Amino acid sequence: MRSVELPPVELPPDVSALDPRTRDTFLDLFERPLSDERTFALHVAQYRELVHHASATNDFIDVPLADRLAEVCQALLGSVTPETPEPRRRLIQAGVRYFLMADDADDDLASASRFDDDVRVMNVVTTALGRADLEIVGSA
C-alpha cells in the first residue's frame, strides 16, 4: 500500500477570517487533547439529529447547511489514519468540536446567523488542510 503525501499544515492556521470570539474559541479547541475520531463521528451524527429535531419547531434553522457541515465533519474524520500527523488531527478535531458546540459565537439553534460562524471555522480548517473539495461555498 502506497502512502499518500499530505500537504504540510501551517500552525497556527490562518484565522484572519474569524471574528475575535470565534478565533479564540477555535484556538482553544485546537489545544485540547486529541480524542478518538470514531467517537467524534458518533457525536456529529447525534448533533445532526438534534438539529433536525429542533427544526420541527424552529423554521429559521438552516437544516441543509447543518447537514453540509456534518458531511464535511464526517469526511474529515474519515480521512484520519494511524499515519495522520498530529497537527492535521488537531485541526480536524478543533473544527468538529466547534461544530458540536450549539452555543458558540452564534448559537446554532437560536441566533439569527445560526451556522455562519461554523462555516467560517470549517473553511479555515479545510483551507489549512488543502481540502478545497470540502469548502462550503455560498454561505457565511
Amino acid 1: pLDDT? 47
CB contact at 8 A, 52 and 63: yes
Phi, psi of 134 (to 5 degrees): -105, 0
Cα–Cα distance measured from residue 135 to residue 138, given in angstroms and rounded to the nearest whole number: 10
Task: Kindly report, residue by residue over 14-71, the tens digit of the pLDDT.
Answer: 888 898 999 999 999 999 999 999 999 999 999 999 999 998 988 888 899 999 999 9
Question: What rounded mean pLDDT belongs to the chain?
Answer: 87
